[in-house]
Amino acid sequence: MADNIVETKSGFVSVIGRPNAGKSSLLNWLVNEKIAMVSHKANATRRRSKIIAMHHDTQIIFVDTPGLHERERLLNQFMLDEALKAMGDCDLILFLSPITDKLDYYLDFLEKNKKNRPHIVLLTKTDNVSNEKILAKLQEFSRYQDKFLAIMPVSIKRGTKKEYLLEEISKYLPVHPYLYDPEILTTENIRDIYKEYIRESIFNNTSEEIPYFADVVIDKIEEKDDIEVVHASIIVEKKSQKGVLIGKDGQTLKRIGSSARNEIKALSNKNVFLKLFVTVKPGWSQNREILKKLGYDFE
């Protein structure tokens, strides 16, 4: 008697939307782990990253992306290209549309979806919105119902059932062996995850232009039995930005370090010693060679 063969599915699902549409928050919620960088400021995510969720016999490989936006600096061009590549190289797209947005963002997405990849629309940021407003937005989208596979309101705080969303996504993924070990949550290496924790802390503890002109390099990680020692450099473009990052008597840098250290500790399950340095590299966000060294791989 032949053994029963389980039919598995596996596929790539690109998460697309304007800056600050709620992409990273959604992904962290879906996998019950803090993997993607979250900030209330726009354009926090700078590069694609893969976050993996298992749903019964389906492996869903989510691709977190920078927000769709207009090109400005060379770094912004890279970010837009990352989102466009993710749209073209996937089995399914989740397009996130904050409930208060006009449909202009959706129409722009349709125009940018050159390969006409199938997509599901998720209405986000519905936590404090009445059911009447949600129904009104669904009615607006109904004019384009021939364009999308499904449309679903999502509320993390209200407790939208993850099962419903994961089941809907699974319906449209191909039958295929698992592409990654089912036990892992992300393909990102530990240095990149730590880097994003520090970047997130910069976004949360500084204001104005500072987060957008700062990046992070993990210089060294020393793994010991009871403690992890992390050396990292924060790169900015101007001396004045360095001063703001450090703050009076080093207080701002201490807050950045404390917040990032707590995130690293929660992930590593070890005590963490985080040593931060701040260095100035004028014009780094417009310098292709420096950007490549920072991990932004231009083709």
Residues 138 and 203 in one domain: no
Residues 18 and 164 in one domain: yes
The residue among 207 and 290 whose pLDDT is bigger is 290
pLDDT of residue 66: 86
* Domain final position from 141, 171, 201: 171
Section 120-147 average pLDDT: 94
pLDDT digits 0-9 by tens, 84-103 = 899 999 999 999 999 999 99
What letter would DSSP give residue 142?
G
Residues 114 and 212 in one domain: no
Residues 158 and 218 in one domain: no
Task: Compute the distance between CA of residue 153 and CA of residue 294 in angstroms, rounded to an integer.
Answer: 37
**If you average pLDDT over every residue of the chain, what do you get?**
89
Residues 238 and 118 in one domain: no
* Domain final position from 171, 204, 237: 171
Phi/psi of residue 109, nearest 5 degrees: -60, -45
Q: What is the largest CA-CA distance in the chain?
A: 75
pLDDT digits 0-9 by tens, 156-174 = 877 668 889 999 999 999 9
pLDDT digits 0-9 by tens, 37-83 = 666 666 678 888 899 999 999 999 999 988 887 766 788 888 888 88
pLDDT of residue 45: 80
How much of the chain exceeds pLDDT 90, in percent? 60
Question: Worst-scoring range by mean pLDDT, 19-33, 67-81, 140-154, 247-261?
Answer: 67-81
Residues 19 and 140 in one domain: yes
Residue 298 lies in a domain: no
pLDDT of residue 39: 64
Residue 30 lies in a domain: yes
Residues 72 and 45 in one domain: yes
Residue 216 lies in a domain: yes
Count: domains in the chain: 2
Residues 13 and 160 in one domain: yes
CATH number of the domain that residue 164 is part of? 3.40.50.300
Residues 210 and 264 in one domain: yes
Residues 36 and 154 in one domain: yes
CATH number of the domain that residue 271 is part of? 3.30.300.20
Residue 179 lies in a domain: no
Range of the domain at 56: 9-171
Residue 259 lies in a domain: yes
Residues 114 and 218 in one domain: no
Residues 153 and 220 in one domain: no
pLDDT digits 0-9 by tens, 241-272 = 999 999 999 999 999 999 999 999 988 888 99
Query: Shortest CA distance to 148 belongs to which of 114, 118, 113?
Result: 118
User: Is residue 130 classed as helix, strand or coil in its secondary structure?
Assistant: coil
* Domain final position from 144, 171, 198: 171
Residue 183 lies in a domain: no
pLDDT category at 19 given cuts 50, 70, 90 is: confident
Residue 1 lies in a domain: no
Q: Which helix (H) or strand (E) holds 235?
A: strand 227-236
Decide if pLDDT at 3 tops 90. no
Return the amino acid letter for 61: I
Q: Using an 8 Å Cβ cutoff, are 188 and 49 in contact?
A: yes
Residue 180 lies in a domain: no
pLDDT digits 0-9 by tens, 210-223 = 888 899 999 999 98
